[in-house]
Structure 1
Amino acid sequence: MARQGRTHAQPRRTSNQRRLAAAVAGLKGTVQFDAPLKDYTSFRIGGPADVLVEPADIDDVVCLVRQTRAQKLPLFVVGGTNLLIRDKGIRGVVVSLGRLRAIKEEPGAVLYAEGGVGMPTLIGYAIRHSLAGLEWAAGIPGTVAGCVVMNAGTRLGEMKDSVKAVRLVNMQGEIVDLPVSEIPFAYRRATLPPGIVVGVWLQLKAGVRAEIEKVVKDYLHYRRDTQPLTLPSAGCVFKNPPKDSAGRVIDSAGLKGAQVGDAQVSDKHANFIVNRGQASAKDVLALIRKVRAAVTRKTGVKLELELKVVGQA
């Protein structure tokens, strides 16, 4: 008798697909293959990840790091605001810490926040508990982890002013706690060992709730008046030149409103590029080149990117 063939044969997995599946096997969190990343960036721009993982907890992060390392796959964390993902996305494993959202108060006006806590959520918690020290971050939409990695800041202060210690899962899958004295901070950058920031201790101070709320509200009003907060953006695109403002230099070169596709230099603040609807990473990068060239030609200033660009073109 002839053998009956399989009528619903599954396509054979490639070697890379098998490695990706092994890297995420057994995780408690959510796993999506070929996942679009635009909803995980403040720019609302970005191609797909080979696989996107939202770990359920820190143990999940440890497991994911170890399995990804065993499969020799690249690992990338999304979560900051100053990020542009190119249109063909990111190869390997992409991690969002959105489910790591615990906050707890410790003695001595210290808050511990897991890496996926949004800064607006953390500021709200601090206000309710009459803790001062995070007012500088009013209006920053990124996560705690992202703000540490990029040493996020405003004219009122920056992340290094608040950090007491950082909890990291290193690339061997070990949990390491680093005091702030072991973390070199610079302008919009923290030099950390390779790994994933999963928690941060913040040294705050007891304050008066009404006074803290007033500072936050006043600064939010200032940001709304001076920055394009109603359109998707990645915050400031360029670092400020020495003793000057990138926004002022770009404005002086006549570039407010300059546009490539749906990417536009903001009319409100020239150091912001906004997504007017369907902007691609290609549009943004073309506009960045246009701004840089014009500023250098007209003012002699060479602008340095604050924006982090990742992924495949």
Structure 2
Amino acid sequence: MSRAAGKDHAARTRKDWARILAGVRGTVTYEASLQAYTSFHIGGPAEVLVEPADVEDLCRVVAQARAEHVPVFVVGGTNVLVRDGGIRGIVVSLRQFKAIRQEPDHVLYAEGGVGMPTLIGYAIRRSLAGLEWGAGIPGTVAGCVVMNAGTRLGEMKDSVKAVRMVDPRGRVVDIPAADIPFSYRRAHLPRGIVAGVWVQLRPGDHDRIEKTVKDYLQYRKQTQPLTLPSAGCVFKNPPQDSAGRLVDAVGLKGARIGDAQVSEKHANFMVNLGHARAADVLALIKKVRAAVKKVSGVKLELELKVVGEA
């Protein structure tokens, strides 16, 4: 954000925001804490938090924000650390985007705010296989697409048939999976907001699908700190190696700054022990990266997305 833009934002009044968000049917909250909107439970306030009622409402928010030159950021789920100063402009949450529907040929359409556990449960009840890899991933469907979320059993690109987006002009655009380049922990999508996803599944045996999900969820509970607030894996795995192994090898499993801690269960997770600040997490990341670089020569790349103002 430019200095001029920052002044412009600071000068906006409630009356200005009422004009910018005129006609929006969803929830609008000023200076809303973002702690409850991320799995880390960390982060400063949103200048304005908007929870659109539906896709039409989201289109209105995006189009009107563009007309007023107001930045829009989407928050929700894992792999995000919001800095303590929060986020200026409009922060959009897709919490009201909860619909799932079944379509022909074993396809499910899920709106962007649907949690992956919810979508997996929906598929199991209909004896549809293909999402078992996602057991234990707490993020939303939209977040899983953007990050190409995955586990050792598979990743999001294995399931996506098409993605519905709202582009920067506030228009709905549907993109086939074949037109989306996926890479490790990233989908190379055009600019915009993921409003929904079609996943291609296949018929399967209900009990077998359910057992696979339960077994893998149990494995993840044993090996990852799923009971504490975190943002999932902090670092990308280097080629032919494991970020967790590298962190463990330098003796930093359990290391702590404030209430931010390198998980004692899995060294590529950082957890919030209760009152961690983003500054604590960032300081711990710096400490871990420096130690790993010094010992192994490997420069760990962040999988975690850091956003907002210090």
Distance 1:300 1:206 in 2: 47
**Cα deviation per residue 1:217-245 (whole Å; 9 max; x = unaligned)?**
00000000000111100000000011000
State TM-score, norm by structure 2. 0.95
Equivalences for 1:87-166 in 2 at 5 Å? 87-166=84-163
Displacement of 1:21 in angstroms is 2.8
Distance 1:65 1:308 in 2: 22
Percent of aligned pairs with the same amino acid: 70
**2: CA distance, partners of 1:299 / 1:281:** 27
Which of 3, 18, 22 lines up with 1:21 in the alignment?
18
Find the counterpart in structure 2 of residue 251 from structure 1.
248
Stretches (4+) displaced over 6 A:
none
Pick from 299, 305, 310: which aligns with 1:308? Answer: 305
- Superposed CA offset, 1:234-283 (max 9, x none): 00000001100000010011110111100000010000000000000000
CA RMSD in angstroms comes to 1.1
Distance, in Å, in 2 between the alignment partners of 1:91 and 1:152 is 27
Match of 2:182 in 1: 185
Asked whether the equivalents of residues 37 and 77 of structure 2 are also in contact (C-alpha less than 8 Å), the reply is: no
Q: What per-residue deviation string (whole Å, max 9, x for no partner) do you get for residues 26-56 of structure 1?
A: 2111110110000000000000000001111
Partners of 1:40 and 1:79 within 8 A in 2: yes
Counterpart residue number, 2:4: none
TM-score (norm. length: structure 1):
0.95
Aligned to 1:198: 195
SS at match of 1:305: coil
Does 2:219 align with 1:235?
no
Secondary structure of residue in 1 paired with 2:303: coil
Counterpart of 2:256 in structure 1: which amino acid? Q
Q: Which residue of 1 aligns with 2:62?
A: 65
Deviation at 1:146, TM superposition (A): 0.6
For the residues of structure 2 that align with 1:186 and 1:14, how far apart are their CA atoms? 38
8 Å CA contact 1:22, 1:67 repeated in 2? no
Q: Which residue of 2 aligns with 1:297?
A: 294
Q: Give the AA of the match of 1:35.
A: A
Using the TM superposition, give the Cα deviation of residue 125 of structure 1 relative to its aligned residue in structure 2, in angstroms: 0.2
C-alpha displacement of 1:14 = 6.8
Name structure 2 gaps, 5 residues minimum.
Answer: 1-8
8 Å CA contact 2:107–2:201 kept in 1: the answer is: yes
Number of residue-to-residue matches in the alignment? 301
User: Aligned pair 1:30/2:27, yes or no?
Assistant: yes
Aligned partner letter, 1:98: R
- The reply to whether residue 176 of structure 1 matches residue 196 of structure 2 is no
Preserved CA contact (<8 Å) 1:84 1:307: yes
Q: Please give the alpha-carbon distance, in whole angstroms, between the structure 2 residues aligned to 1:115 and 1:179.
A: 16
Partner of residue 265, structure 1: 262
